[in-house]
Amino acid sequence: MEQEKNLSGLINSITDNVTSLVRGHIELAKAEALAAAKNVLKSSVLLMIAIAIINLGVIFLFIAGAFWVSETFDFSTSAGFLIIGGSLILLALFFVAIAVVKLKSIKDSRRTIDSLNATSESLRSLLPGNK
């Protein structure tokens, strides 16, 4: 009888230790995720500001390019803008085609799923009666 109490206490102790260990890992993951999310948010805002400024600069460069094309090749101003606009549309279509090819090549996270399944099986084998 005494031995069963000791075994029962040992199992309860192990269960409590595993539970606290898992909770500790979860809290650590939450803290790391929160810190990472704050950094991502700050970086994203700065990146958006930079992209907006670059976008304005690029617009002026394209306008200057349209005027340059019209003056250099003795075209009308509207022809220069049409040439630059058409070139931009073709470039955008090229990038869309590349993006579609890249999206089709995305696969699921097989290694992560396999790792989680292996861990689950290992933990199940440690349970009493599952040998």
Pick from 35, 36, 17, 13: nearest CA to 25: 17
Tell me the domain boundaries of the chain: 2-126
Q: Residue 131 — pLDDT band, cuts 50, 70, 90?
A: low
Share of the chain above pLDDT 70, in %: 95
Structure confidence at residue 22 (pLDDT): 84
Q: How far apart are CA 8 and CA 128, in angstroms?
A: 12
Say if pTM beats, i.e. exceeds, 0.85. Answer: no
Q: How far apart are CA 74 and CA 113, in angstroms?
A: 63
Residue with tokens 């590349």: 98
For 30, half-sphere exposure in the C-beta direction (CA atoms, 13 angstrom radius) is: 6
Share of the chain above pLDDT 90, in %: 51
Distance in Å from the first CA to the final CA of the chain: 25
Which tens digit of pLDDT belongs to each residue from 69-125? 999 999 999 999 999 999 999 999 999 999 999 988 877 667 777 777 887 787 778
